[in-house]
Amino acid sequence: MRSHAELARQADLLNRSFVGVLTALKWLFGMSALAVAVPVVAYAQNVKIGVINSVTGPEAPIGENLTNGIKLAEEDLSKSGIKLELIWEDDTGKPQIAMSAMEKLATRDGVAGVVGPYTSASANAVAKLAQRYQVPLLVPAAAKEEITRQGYQWVFRLNAPANVYAQVLFDAVTELGKPKTIAFVYENTDFGTSTADAGKKYAEKKGIKIVADEPYSKGSPDYRSTLTKIKALNPELVFMVSYVVDAILLMRQAREIGLKPQAFLGGGAGFTTTQFASDKAISNLVFTSTQWSDDVSWPGAAEFAKRYNAKFGKEPTYHAACAYASMMIMADTAAKQHGDRAKIRGALASGSWKGIMGDVKFENYDGYTNQNKHPMLVLQIQNGNYVSVYPAQFAVKKAIFPFSGW
């Protein structure tokens, strides 16, 4: 039984709490009002493009390449009279946050188009939203095939999808020798799984037996047991898909354990960074497939690399080139179409460009929609440097095969 005084006190407290809550709610409404009130559309002079990237989080080191590539594009665009207003969004490597960012760019910021995200998981999630909100989306470097296999008219992808990563590596290696067995080690994320799956399909097609299939959780520092297990099975090829940290750790520990296949195949990302290559003890003779390299014969590729190096003090990865090209294409198209989303979409679908990524044309084929048929290269790390070895028209040096050991 509660006394009257107590009830009164409770009611009083409750009232006062409500005042507090109401004040807070007012503040919140005020914020939303601010969000709505701030002028949102200004297509006339500037070209407003949104960028979703992994600025922080585990993929940040590669995300940095995308950021820098876009910054170089910004410079070049302003030289040709296009004033770019970029809205940067950090997805921290999480698809949910990428989706949130996309919502904001599409509905609140009124961007003409979006470039990004970086990771496969984020790109796939955001593609759906681009289609729903009808905002042109240009994906620069995400590998997951599904992204452009869903019939989304508003989603475009510059880079070659995962199956090409695997395909080009296998084509290169089967030209050099006749390996019969293969082991897969990959991180169990969207990127790792889809690239490994593509690899497995291709291995089967080429008649190479899969002796080990080892997904790992990224970030856990010790792969020795997994590698020991693989070593015992004596595979002739080892196919790895990792982002930065794990690529280096995997190779270090592979060396430690004494894993010695005929070739190490690195499926993109972590194996394409200079950080990895410069660690000569562990990176030598690793094959990796890439979207771009600075010694490839596409117009402006070498100059881009020099300029990037001069401005940022390090070598660019293919992600930088992809992002640069994507931004150039998107911004140029957006400027020509005066920021009209539907017209931009149309122009992207029908246009063609030539630049540091070679010829770019978004086509529909084999179940892909708006996919650029980008040829990938196989690089091999020889003595700390990336050297293009396949296909023949891009090859600069001959590949060294088989792996000569540690």
Partner 1 sequence: MLVFVILAALVALPKLVTNPYALHLMILLFLAVAMGEAWNIVGGYCGQYSVGHAAYFGVGAYATLMLLQYRQVAPWWGVWGAIAAALMISVVIGSICFRLRGPYFVLASIAVAEIIRLVVLNWKQFTNGAEGILLVDIPPLKLGQTLITDWLSKTPFYYLGLALALSTLLVNYLVLHSKLGYYFQAIREDQDAAHSLGINLTFYKNAALAISALFTALSGVFYGLYIGFIDPPGVLGLDTSVQMVLICIIGGIGTILGPVVGALVLVPLSEVLRANLLSKALFVLGLVKETSRLGNFLKENLAHAHVLIYGILVVVVILYMPDGVLGFLRKLLARNVRPLAPSSRPVVGDLDGPA
Partner 2 sequence: MRVLLQSAASGILIGGVYALVGIGLTIIFGVMRVINFAHGELLMIGMYLTWLIFSSLGIDPFVSIVITIPLMFVFGAIVQRTLIHRVLNALPQNQILLTIGLGLVLSNLVMLIFTSDYKIITTRYSSSTIHLAGLPLSTPLAISFLVTSVITALLYLFLLKTDTGQAIRATAQDRDAAQLMGINVSWMSVLAFGIGTALAGTAGALVSPTYYIFPQVGSAFTLKAFVIVVLGGMGSVLGATLGGVIIGVTESLAAVYISSGMKEVFVYVLFLLVLLFKPSGLLGRSRM
CB of 208 to partner 1, least distance (A): 22
Strand 385-390, strand 358-365: pairing = unpaired
The one-letter code for the residue type at 9 is R
Residues 213, 240: Cα–Cα separation, whole Å: 10
Percentage helix, strand, coil for the chain under 3-state DSSP, each rounded to 5: 50, 20, 30
Q: Is the N-terminal amide bond of 402 cis, ω within 30° of 0?
A: yes
Exposure string of 284-302, with b = 16+ CB inside 10 Å and e = fewer, is bbbbbbbbbbbbbebebbe
Stretch near partner 1 under the rule CB under 8 A, chosen from 12-20, 168-176, 278-286, 371-379: 12-20
Pairing verdict, β 181-187 and 237-241: parallel
Q: Which of 153, 174, 193, 385 binds partner 1 (CB under 8 A)?
A: 193
Query: Minimum distance between the CB of residue 77 and partner 1, rounded to whole angstroms?
Result: 20
Among 78, 80, 96, 297, binds partner 1 (CB under 8 A): 96
Stretch near partner 1 under the rule CB under 8 A, chosen from 10-18, 134-142, 329-337, 352-360: 10-18
Residue 223 touches which member of partner 2, partner 1, none, C-beta under 5-8 Å by kind: partner 2
Report if residue 17 touches partner 1, rule: CB under 8 A.
yes
Least separation in angstroms between residue 251's CB and partner 2 is 9
95 binds, among partner 2, partner 1, none (CB under 5 to 8 A by kind): partner 1
Q: Could you tell me if 317 and 308 are in contact, meaning their C-beta atoms sit under 8 angstroms apart?
A: no
Q: What is the residue-wise DSSP string for 222-244?
A: --HHHHHHHHHH--SEEEEE--H
Nearer to partner 2, 141 or 248 (CB): 248
Q: Which helix (H) or strand (E) is 311 found in, with range?
A: helix 301-312
Residue 124's binding partner, choosing from partner 1, partner 2, none, with beta-carbon cut-off 5 to 8 A by kind?
partner 1
Size of the site for partner 1 (CB under 8 A): 48
Contact set for partner 1, span 238-297 (CB under 8 A) = none
Q: Which of 83, 132, 180, 280 binds partner 1 (CB under 8 A)?
A: 132
- The reply to whether 342 sits near partner 1 by the rule CB under 8 A is no
- Return the residue of 1, 81, 217, 310 that touches partner 1, per CB under 8 A: 217
**Minimum distance, C-beta of residue 63 to partner 2, in the bound complex (Å):** 9
Chain CA centroid to CA 130, Å: 17
